Homo-oligomer: A and B are copies of this chain.
């Protein structure tokens, strides 16, 4: 048996020293638990994704230098006998780079640290370049599969192979080669962003790849937020037969310790062995021995954690809280500010913020106008009382009047003006007091352009940007029910959930004056935006033709607004941001009742 620890931690992009310290700290915990092998996530040392920092020579050099310093530091702390697998940013000196890559081609690397030194390195073989990923821009693929022979305290030694993230998702490559190498364990550092339902897909994938490799598979994922991505953890170990042996929590740092069978080692001595990767490439199996490895001997068997997965709404809510908390913290803010209108979007956003950083660090501003309803103030005040956030009121009527006397605005311009005055008030208080401004718009609004540029869309982070309106309501109800289950007061006023949504920018205005019922709208947006269906497919799916035409036009025309929107946590299969990249200037309109060019 080999005792292994999966270090599911939260690294920060660019914080090499902090991330290095985390490796040392968590290796210490793993050693204390008797583990002979500890595995960290992909790009642990640099954070993920580093984007164009991967192309900067000084950053790549610092990553490699810090990796070596980390190995030395581990040995100084008496941890040199633990085998540490960690992701980092590497480069392949001497390789003629792909066109566009700098000399010294960057790689998405994995290193084994042992005995105060870097024992072996490899790099991700399959590079994802779709959805939120742009890895062909940054990396050259790896072609080495390291296999570490680790002497187990008793019995046969373990042969541990290392693959990285996308290497699981594509066919052939490291998993196939690990099978050919008769590895007794496949460990896989990951930086796999959250989206709804992905946990099930990952478990099924790990089961399939463990079977292909003929060995247990240890999947280690990052947790935490990085701009619009949230990493959800959910690290796990699956046996060669597909049994789930251990699983970590979601959205929390954790050390998952388990004993996995050793043995099955091939007879080969240390050295390089060519292998057919079954994906059109040849890889090299690099066998090394790690003598004097210090797995716990005779220790009581580890009782591995088997955290149940969160249910759908709990998982989404945790993603929003994690993304918000980490954007605040990692960007050096201590507090947030947002507009509280009495409506459901700002109520949910305030609740997420309170759960993320505590209500005493959440500042809300009530900004009633002449068109604000009675309940807009009472519902907002009710939320303030329930949560204990810090509230102030700034009436906007005098400012509206000052603009009016200069500009004499009417109609939409007048409506937008009110939203922009509110945005400006938030920005002004932010400038004066240092709070991060949270934007309260939801995905349905962002899709249809039902928002005011520099008004309600102003801010630095948008917690519910990827949440359709119907899901906003479901999350609000879920959060209240969760409070009730725990015997706490529900944080969101029932009236904010129940009342018909309104921007309150003119007397008696309702969202349904401008938009269809949200249940109908969200179903259509899901097909058009997330599934990228064309008009013929939308009609075939049963959507109303007039509505399809109207909503497509709204979505297409709002691209310029989305480009200037702040980032927010991705929870869907296709968010507005890194996932969906469309030109602003485009005359393409999905054909309805007639084909262009025919």
Interface residues of A (CB under 8 A from B): 12-18, 20, 47, 49-53, 55-59, 61-62, 65-66, 69-70, 98-101, 126, 128-131, 133-134, 136-137, 169-170, 225-227, 326-327, 330-331, 394-395, 398-399, 401-403, 405-407, 409-413, 416-417, 420-421, 423-425, 427-429, 431-432, 453-454, 458, 460, 532-537, 560, 563-567, 580-591, 595-598
Contacts and interface: CB of A to CB of B under 8 A. Distances in A.
A358 to B, nearest CB: 20
B56 A13 contact: no
Contacts of A401: 402
A532 to B, nearest CB: 5
Contacts of A99: 126, 128, 130, 169-170
B399 A428 contact: no
Given A128-B100, A137-B134, A431-B412, A584 B227 contact: yes
A499 to B, nearest CB: 28
Contact of A417 (B227, B331, B428, B536): B428
| Nearest 10 pairs of A and B residues by beta carbon | A100-B130, A58-B534, A14-B588, A66-B597, A402-B402, A413-B431, A15-B587, A14-B586, A136-B136, A413-B432
A557 to B, nearest CB: 9
Q: In this complex, which of A69, A424, A533 has the most chain B Cβ atoms within 10 angstroms of its Cβ?
A: A424
A490 B429 CA distance: 44
Contact of A20 (B330, B587, B597): B597
Contacts of A423: 454
Nearest to A329: B585
A416 B563 CA distance: 22
A406 B425 CA distance: 9
22 contacts: A13-B585, A15-B588, A16-B596, A50-B588, A51-B581, A52-B532, A52-B582, A57-B537, A59-B588, A99-B130, A99-B170, A129-B136, A227-B583, A327-B585, A331-B560, A331-B585, A399-B403, A407-B429, A407-B432, A416-B431, A420-B424, A420-B428
Given A62-B595, A537-B58, A565-B564, A583 B412 contact: no
Contacts of A70: 597
A62 B597 contact: yes
Nearest to A454: B454
A102 to B, nearest CB: 8
Contact of A58 (B128, B424, B536): B536
Given A69-B597, A130-B101, A454-B424, A226 B587 contact: no
B327 A53 contact: no
Contacts of A406: 394-395, 398-399, 425
Contacts of A398: 402, 405-406
B427 A18 contact: no
Contacts of A402: 398-399, 401-403
B100 A581 contact: no
Nearest to A565: B564
Contacts of A18: 587
A116 to B, nearest CB: 15
A62 B588 CA distance: 10
A417 to B, nearest CB: 6
Contact of A583 (B51, B424, B532, B589): B51
B584 A534 contact: no
A598 to B, nearest CB: 6
Q: In this complex, which of A61, A130, A454, A560 has the most chain B Cβ atoms within 10 angstroms of its Cβ?
A: A454
B454 A598 contact: no
A382 to B, nearest CB: 24
B427 A100 contact: no
